[in-house]
Amino acid sequence: MNILGISAFYHDSAASIIQDGKIIAAAQEERFTRKKHDPGFPTNAIKFCLEYSGLELKDLDAIVFYDKPLLKFERLLETYYAFAPKGLRSFITSIPVWIKEKMFLKRLIHEELEQIGTYDKKKTKLLFPEHHLSHAASAYYPSPYEDSAILTVDGVGEWATVSICHGQKGQIKILKEMRFPHSLGLLYSAFTYFLGFRVNSGEYKLMGLAPYGNPLSPDIKKYVDIIKKDLISVKEDGSVWLNQDFFDYATGLKMVNESKWEALFGFKTRKPEDELEQHHCNLGLAIQQITEDVVVLMAQEAKRLTGSENICLAGGVALNCVSNGKLQKSGVFKNVFIQPAAGDAGGALGAALAVNYIYFKQERVIDYEMDAMKGSYLGPTISDLEVELMSKKYKANYQYFENFDELAAETAKLISQENVIGWVQGKMEFGPRALGARSILGDPRSPEMQKKLNLKIKYRESFRPFAPSVLAEDVSKFFDYDGVSPYMLLVHPVADAIKKTLPEGYDDMNLRDKLYHLRSDLPSITHIDFSARIQTVHSDTNPRYYKMIEEFKKLTGMGVVVNTSFNVRGEPIVMTPNDAYRCFMRTEMDYLVVGNFLFSKKDQPEWQGTDNWKEEFVLD
């Protein structure tokens, strides 16, 4: 069975292809078009998947779209009807688009595919699983579990905002759903908006901001009480009811009723570039705590309904790695697997998998030792020829290493000298995290590295934390955790052995003073609450990255480096050598490693590009 999965027309468009149940390739359209969260039809991603698999459209048994557009249209109409006459402006804006385009999505998909190739519409089926089934399938089928609870939590699909399913013997049974307009994902996005970050993009910033809240401040309890009294009601099973008097997302063009929220919390809606103040941090901590508590309640309900020892997570809220860490620590489930592309991009993969196993009833073969995501290295790769052509184009100077082990040792030495390295190797990651294929690397021992990376390389808010990539066998040396976390989707505390003592009055310090206080022996990856977003690196999925960190360990005694995505603020992660070199030259990175090529900034010709990344990319 050859099956192509597609997600498109909302955000994070993507394509994936599976052959006989095996995941062959997957990629996000933004990586090709250089438009972050590109919602357009994933033409480039589809072409890549077909080319990499050696297939043409005519070889496909099915093409699968990740949700049911007519069911979503039904939800829109019923919602406008229920809230009428409220929402007229939104109705006038959105309904014509639906009638013109999305109502006839089947025809639109066929038209777009005809630009790529020809196929027999009778032989190649065009199918539409439900949104949350696509999410559930994206997590369950690649997992190493035969029996598993499946929890999917996002903003909204067609109607569902939360689903609890049971994966058993290769089939998925939906047990319970929470429905729009009540949504934990939309609640979190509402606070993302109110605190000055972009919805569907800045939720991870809110998660990173939350630890700057003062846990000893009475404001935390005050905000939690306000949220639970006026905005939401949380039930024992984790379901939430949202008071629509305070929200505008159902029928309006904004997430919240700003005047009501400002009266409720006592301060103005923050604008994107406004200074962050302590009350912003405290409110961020309050909603993060509520989110974590609700997710654990939902997981407990999933445990009650399934009795399974395992749980699989997907949906946008599954990218909240702090919440994931709390769920894992709670012990509700023995094993936790999170789809690395948990958002809408992963829906393309889940849609294909759902059709393979549920529609075509193919037998599932499980690798009980590891998941089937192949480290999430499923995207386009690089070649020496591409690097050489890029070098000629920019007249770039480089050193070529015949032996990669020598390059790994040289890179490790450069990192230990506090240089910042752009690192491009092999197949690109599928999903929002850079996992050592398209990464910017630094020395975690450096007290200045977080500041340098944020302000001089990424050009983003200084409070944003960085993740550690650690050799899998060394994780318990540095963190209060002894499991695996290959997809950077779990937050756990740093080990007591590397913690520094906090000064008296630390919790009352302002954001900037907290940020630059030395908290551990690895200050650049230790967040202000002594936590870290861990990526365990495994030699079987990324041998080059593993080898380089091994070399760093030989030099420093520490098998861990700073890892952040290779891009500037507002830019998708770089994909090609050309993308990488342009980003390298337009930032204050010191060295660039692409395959076996090493570029030193001081040896490069003056950058002649007239383009300005701040104008090219919309700030996220």
Q: Read off the pLDDT of residues 360-377 as tens digits, 9 standing for 90 and up.
A: 999 998 988 889 999 999
Residue ranges of domains in the chain: 1-139+343-372, 143-338, 384-616
Predicted pLDDT at 526:
93
556 contact partners, CB below 8 Å, separation of at least 6: 416, 443, 445
- Please enumerate, as own/partner, the contacts of 168-173 that have beta carbons within 8 Å and a separation of 24 or more: 170/146, 170/357, 170/363, 170/364, 171/357, 171/358, 172/133, 172/136, 172/137, 172/140, 172/354, 172/358
Segments of the chain with pLDDT less than 50: none
Predicted pLDDT at 619:
61
Predicted pLDDT at 580:
98
Closest CA to 268 of 276, 277, 278, 259: 259
User: What is the Cα 546 distance to its own chain's centre?
Assistant: 22
- DSSP H helices, 425-541, are 449-452, 475-478, 511-515
CA distance 360 to 353: 10
CATH of domain 143-338: 3.30.420.40
Q: Are 157 and 71 in contact (CB under 8 A)?
A: no
Q: Which CATH superfamily is domain 384-616 in?
A: Carbamoyltransferase, C-terminal domain (3.90.870.20)
- Largest Cα–Cα distance in the chain? 72
CA distance 255 to 251: 10
Closest CA to 421 of 594, 293, 210, 286: 594
Q: What tens digit of pLDDT does each residue of 132-152 get?
A: 999 999 999 999 999 999 999
**Strand, coil or helix: 135:** helix
Q: Are 334 and 309 in contact (CB under 8 A)?
A: yes
Amino acid at site 533: R
Give one DSSP letter per residue of 487-507, joined into a string. Answer: TS-EEEEBPGGGBPPPPTTGG
Q: What tens digit of pLDDT does each residue of 291-333 get?
A: 999 999 999 999 999 999 999 999 999 999 999 999 999 999 9
Predicted pLDDT at 76:
72
Predicted pLDDT at 87:
63
- How many residues can be counted in the chain? 620
**Strand, coil or helix: 5:** strand
Predicted pLDDT at 99:
67
Q: Are 297 and 237 in contact (CB under 8 A)?
A: yes
Tokens of 179: 């429905």
Asked if the domains 1-139+343-372 and 384-616 are classified in one and the same CATH topology, the answer is no
Predicted pLDDT at 88:
62
Predicted pLDDT at 414:
98
Tokens of 67: 């949700």
Exposure class string for 135-157: b at 16+ Cβ within 10 A, else e:
bbbbbbbbbebeebbbbbbbbbb
CA distance 468 to 560: 6
Class of domain 1-139+343-372: alpha beta
Report if pTM > 0.75: yes
Would you give the DSSP letter of residue 360? Answer: S
